Amino acid sequence: MAPIAVDLAAGLGASADPFLMAVAIGASSAFLTPIGHQSNTLVMTPGGYGVGSIFSFCDGGKSRGRELFFAYSADEK
């Protein structure tokens, strides 16, 4: 995904940094799911978490990620 992000940024004439940050945040978001990492799976049952628990945690993170992306890309201009 990183080469695609760099090519897209070059095609738009923008800095590649915000696009690469979006790729990094997107790639690391997989670890937020209950089964995304073995330690998450280990604490699901003892912690009382279910597969639906991810929705209560991830909504705030997504909006903050978008805010950071647009704030960072606005600084580059």
Instruction: Scan for tokens 């647009």, then name that residue.
Output: 70
Average pLDDT of the segment spanning 26-36: 75
- Domain map of the chain by residue range? 2-75
Mean pLDDT estimate for the chain: 76
pLDDT band at 16 (very low <50, low <70, confident <90, very high): very high
- The reported pLDDT for the residue numbered 26 is 85
pLDDT value for 74: 58
From residue 40, alpha-carbon distances to 35, 36, 50, 52 in Å are: 6, 7, 11, 14
Please tell me the pTM assigned to this model.
Answer: 0.51
Three-class SS of 27-73: HHHHHHCCCCCHHHHHHHHHHCCCCCHHHHHHHHHHHHHHHHHHHHH
- 33 versus 57: the higher-pLDDT residue is 33
